[in-house]
Amino acid sequence: MATRCLRYGSLAFLVAQDTALVLLMRYSRSHATGEMYLASTAVCCMEVLKLCVCVGMLYAGEARGSISGLVNVFRREFLEKPSEVLRLAVPSFLYLLQNNLLYFALSNLRATPYKVTYNLKILTSALFSVTMLGQKLSKRKWLSLIALFVGVTVVQSDNHKSDSDAPHPETGLGYQTLGFLAVVAAAFTSGFCGVYQQKILQAGKTNMWVRNAQMGLTSVCLGVVSTIVKDRQAIQERGFFQGYTRLVWTVIIIQAVGGLNVAFILKYADNILKGFAAAFSTVASCVLEMAIMHFRPTATFLLGGALINVAAYCYNTPGRKDGNKLPR
């Protein structure tokens, strides 16, 4: 009974967190009344927040509430394991890129087309699981992945038809097309990082908070560098926290909590739950965006979205030949 409650409770939490994040992030990027905040600084703050939580958990757990214990953990897990920290710099860098891409995407796409397209990460995760982990997929899963791809293509072609897409001055591509490409790129980094971590986690027994603190430290350093490279001038002129409102801080906190939740799921690996949560939260985002933000999907869009959700459902439901070891 307790396991059941935990399972459904965590499913509800995942759905609520994912839905709230995408709607609030979109709102913060499209309805700013004053100055627009810099996405690079928001990602940086989110990484700092996650690192603080990880260090706090290490202080309370491994270090047993002592500063010298924490210093020892730092020495043991960071200074004496440079190769491990370096290996984790790969997902740290890619997640940083992914989080920036997601801000860019939600600056140019509505929440629902974004969510629907981001389901592509099921496909990319499967492809990386096959190539990097040598996993075999059943016919049912391959068919689900093809249906998923078709669904995304339908949604995307509808997106092109239904909205005016102003061209970006440098690339000549429409802003929505660029937003779409950013989500596709993010789906690739998400798929790769998930599988990469699965590979690392399967190989070792490092504490989840240590692992995330190792990643977090690199992410914060890379985040600061990327902020300087991308937005130095704007920061010098108007400050690091320009445009920050309570809404922006809420987005940052929800994203940090969501990130740690993903880390938890990757460690305790209930991929089925994660896949269902993504599909549920796509539907929830669509309904809420229609109700609150005047989103009016076309019939083609709904058809493509439904196909994607059915594909995600079929992919994540174990068939007779799949057993329990599902790729992420």
Report yes or no: 160 and 113 within 8 Å, Cβ to Cβ.
Answer: no
Report the residue number, 264 or 300, with the smaller CB distance to ligand C5P.
264
Per CB under 6 A, 180 contacts ligand C5P: no
Tokens of 44: 């940086």
Report yes or no: 248 and 31 within 8 Å, Cβ to Cβ.
Answer: no
Q: How far is the CB of 296 from ligand C5P (least distance, A)?
A: 27
Per CB under 6 A, 190 contacts ligand C5P: yes
Per CB under 6 A, 148 contacts ligand C5P: no
Q: How far is the CB of 25 from ligand C5P (least distance, A)?
A: 11
- Tell me which stretch binds ligand C5P (CB under 6 A): 149-157, 189-197, 233-241, 317-325: 189-197
Q: Which of 328, 197, 208, 199 is nearest to 272 (CA)?
A: 328
Phi and psi (nearest 5°) for 245? -125, 180
Instruction: Give how far the C-alpha of residue 313 lies from the chain's centroid of Cα atoms, to the nearest Å.
Output: 19
Q: How far is the CB of 81 from ligand C5P (least distance, A)?
A: 17
Report the residue number, 13 or 162, with the smaller CB distance to ligand C5P.
13
Q: How far is the CB of 50 from ligand C5P (least distance, A)?
A: 6
Q: How far is the CB of 171 from ligand C5P (least distance, A)?
A: 25
**Closest residue to ligand C5P, based on beta-carbon distance:** 259
Instruction: Give how far the C-alpha of residue 198 lies from the chain's centroid of Cα atoms, to the nearest Å.
Output: 16
Residues 49-78 binding ligand C5P (CB under 6 A) are 50
Report the residue number, 155 or 263, with the smaller CB distance to ligand C5P.
263
Q: Which of 268, 282, 267, 279 is nearest to 3 (CA)?
A: 268
DSSP summary character for residue 75: I
Single residue of 95, 280, 301, 315 touching ligand C5P by CB under 6 A = 95
Overall size of the chain counted in residues: 328
Report yes or no: 145 and 126 within 8 Å, Cβ to Cβ.
Answer: yes
Report the residue number, 42 or 234, with the smaller CB distance to ligand C5P.
42
Per CB under 6 A, 218 contacts ligand C5P: no
Burial class (CB within 10 angstroms; exposed 0-12, middle 13-18, buried 19+) of 79 = exposed
Report the residue number, 113 or 174, with the smaller CB distance to ligand C5P.
113
Single residue of 212, 271, 281, 309 touching ligand C5P by CB under 6 A = 212
- The residue with tokens 């958990």 is 57
Report the residue number, 166 or 268, with the smaller CB distance to ligand C5P.
268
CA distance 259 to 264: 9
CA distance 315 to 308: 10
Tokens of 19: 């839905």
Residues 238-267 binding ligand C5P (CB under 6 A) are 259-260, 262-263, 266
Q: How far is the CB of 236 from ligand C5P (least distance, A)?
A: 27
Report yes or no: 65 and 74 within 8 Å, Cβ to Cβ.
Answer: no
Q: Count the residues of the shown chain that bind ligand C5P, applying the rule CB under 6 A.
A: 13
Q: How far is the CB of 205 from ligand C5P (least distance, A)?
A: 16
Per CB under 6 A, 115 contacts ligand C5P: no
Per CB under 6 A, 125 contacts ligand C5P: no
Report yes or no: 132 and 196 within 8 Å, Cβ to Cβ.
Answer: yes
Q: Which of 20, 57, 99, 50 is nearest to 256 (CA)?
A: 50
Contacting residues toward ligand C5P, per CB under 6 A = 50, 95, 99, 190, 194, 197, 212, 215, 259-260, 262-263, 266
